[in-house]
Amino acid sequence: MIDSSPQLVQLLAIDGERKPRGDFDPWVEDLDGTALLALYRDMVVVRRIDTEATALQRQGELGLWPPLLGQEAAQVGSARALRSDDFIFPSYRENAVAYCRGVNLIDIVKVWRGNAQSGWDPYAVNMATPAIIIGAQTLHATGWALGAQRDDVDSVAITYFGDGATSQGDVNEAMVFAASFQAPVVFFCQNNQWAISEPVGVQAHRNIADRAPGFDIPSLRIDGNDVIAVMAATRMALDRARTGGGPTFIEAVTYRMGPHTTADDPTRYRDPAELAEWKTRDPVLRLHRLLNSLGQITPEVEAATAALADAAAAELRAGCIGMPDPEPLSVFDHVYATSNATLERQRTDYAGYLRSFATEHDSAEQNRKA
Ligand SMILES: Cc1ncc(C[n+]2csc(CCOP(=O)(O)OP(=O)(O)O)c2C)c(N)n1
Ligand SMILES: [Mg+2]
């Protein structure tokens, strides 16, 4: 299951050794100890946020949560390669990307608590809100990229999706359009080995990265648990797009260490030996090993990083639990820019339905106020 074929680009070995590679190294030569430590900090914090959100769901404070455990390097390495004017079109799992983009932690969980239909203003951070419809966001990204091309700006669209999404028509259609018009878009596929309970080998008898050249889109197959390789490949792809070279497809080979979502139980379909094997490739541990060998890990650094992660978790928890409940009828407010008769009828019906739960006390209160 674990791939170590020569095309898999790896710049950071499992034991934390930096592996030189002439074609990729120039893209990450600025990554000194301080920069690597910043990436490490991000990865520790997003893992902590993810763990806290999972706990909040287990405690009934969130309806659902899609964990990113194991995919920290793929998300942080790519997100930190972007410019602020690049636009991100994510799936539901890119919560580390949202964190790197500066999305408020509360806004990240709002939608999973059922408090809002959408978490944040996409234009404030140049990142769309999560797409649950598998692969739909790849079309949005390609359309946005075509717009950037016509506006003659050098901003790039990046879209995140999973291995399973590559079987979806939308993703293939997006690649056809991106290739035809040389759209400045990066297709970033996190191959986490599973599409819920479906292993990647069922839908892809060859590497997923092999598909893109069929659309005339160059592709890179990288170790997605290696934050340095991820950053190098993403910078390379962004640069190509920015300079008129068109789209690039990146397959980041990683592993979903947790369940698909908190509603899933992977022990029913996954061999525990597979998880144990991937734990040895843990992206956070690997970077920690490199930093340790560079002398960057001191007790002070460890304590400061843990404090940062704890503070983020505390902020998330307090914000989540303290969120005011939305007014139930507000669900109708943003369906259309201007309302219509059908929607108004639904609103009236729903208001009546809600009134049917009113207690005698509520009725007495209403009568008193009336
Ligand atoms: C169009 C569509 N079909 C099916 C689903 C149900 N569904 C939700 S997640 C998922 C699997 C996606 O797997 P993958 O693309 O590998 O992403 P991952 O969840 O592993 O990150 C499916 C089939 C959906 N949300 N949208
Ligand atoms: Mg997957």
Q: What is the pLDDT of residues 27-64, one digit of tens each?
A: 999 999 999 999 999 999 999 999 999 999 999 999 99
The pLDDT of residue 368: 67
Is there a single domain that holds both residue 225 and residue 279? Answer: yes
Q: Are residues 203 and 337 in the same domain?
A: no
Q: Looking at residue 225, what DSSP letter applies?
A: T
The tally of domains found in the chain comes to 2
Task: Tell me, yes or no, whether 178 and 35 share the same domain.
Answer: yes
Q: Which CATH number fits the domain that encloses residue 317?
A: 3.40.50.970
pLDDT reported for residue 153: 98
8 lines ligand 1 (CB under 6 A): no
What pLDDT is attached to residue 116? 87
- In a domain, residue 200? The reply is yes
Dig out the tokens for 17 from the structure.
């050794």
The label of the residue with tokens 């040389």 reads 182
For all residues of the chain together, what is the average pLDDT? 95
Per-residue model confidence as pLDDT tens digits over 74-99: 999 999 999 999 999 999 999 999 99
At residue 4, the pLDDT reads: 52
165 CA closest ligand 1 atom index: 15
What is the C-alpha to C-alpha distance for residues 170 and 119, in angstroms, rounded to an integer?
A: 24
Q: Does one domain contain both 310 and 260?
A: yes
Give catalytic status of residue 83 as yes or no: no
Q: Does residue 232 sit in the same domain as residue 356?
A: no
275 assigned to some structural domain = yes
Task: Report helix, strand or coil for 249.
Answer: strand
Both tokens of 336, joined, read: 């259309």
CA 337/CA 131 separation, integer angstroms? 21
What are the start-end ranges of the E strands in the chain?
87-89, 157-162, 185-191, 194-195, 198-199, 219-223, 248-253
Q: Is the pLDDT of residue 271 over 70?
A: yes
**Does residue 4 sit within a domain?**
no
Calpha distance 128→124 (Å, rounded): 10
pLDDT confidence of residue 334: 83
109 within 8 A of 53, measured Cβ to Cβ: yes
Q: Is residue 198 part of a domain?
A: yes
Arithmetic mean of pLDDT, 208-235: 98
Residues 106 and 142 in one domain: yes
Distance CA 42, CA 257 (A): 18
Give a yes or no: residue 11 inside a domain.
Answer: no
Question: How far is ligand 2, taken at its centre, from the CA of residue 164, in Å?
Answer: 5
DSSP, collapsed to helix, strand or coil, labels residue 337 as coil
**Mean pLDDT, to the nearest integer, of 216-232?**
98
What is the rounded radius of gyration, in angstroms, for the C-alpha atoms of the chain? 22
173 pLDDT more than 80:
yes
Residue reference for tokens 């920290």: 72
Q: Are residues 193 and 111 in the same domain?
A: yes
- N-term to C-term CA, the chain: 69
CA of 360 to the centre of ligand 1 (A): 45
Do the beta carbons of residue 190 and residue 220 sit within 8 Å? no
Instruction: Provide the domain limits for residue 217.
Output: 25-321
Residue 19 lies in a domain: no
- Spatial neighbors of 225 by CB under 8 A, at least 6 apart, are 70, 73, 74, 253, 254, 255, 281, 282, 283, 286
Q: Are both 158 and 216 inside the same structural domain? A: yes
Question: Do 95 and 127 have their domain in common?
Answer: yes
Please tell me whether residues 314 and 365 are part of one structural domain.
no
Told to judge if 260 belongs to the known catalytic residues of this protein, a careful annotator would answer yes
Average pLDDT over residues 341-360: 93
Residue holding tokens 């710049």? 11
pLDDT for the residue 1: 45
* Rounded distance between C-alpha atoms, residue 227 and residue 223, angstroms: 8
Q: Are residues 195 and 314 in the same domain?
A: yes
What confidence score (pLDDT) does residue 3 get? 56
- Does residue 29 sit within a domain? yes
pLDDT at 6 over 60: no
Is the model's pLDDT at 360 over the cut of 90? no
Pocket test for ligand 1, best of 69, 134, 262, 269 (most atoms within 8 A of CB): 134
pLDDT exceeding 70 applies to what percent of the chain? 95
Together in a domain, 317 and 334? no
Q: Flag whether 18 is in a domain.
A: no
Q: Which of 68, 171, 196 to mutate to test the pocket of ligand 1 (most atoms within 8 A of CB)?
A: 196
Percent of the chain with pLDDT over 90: 92
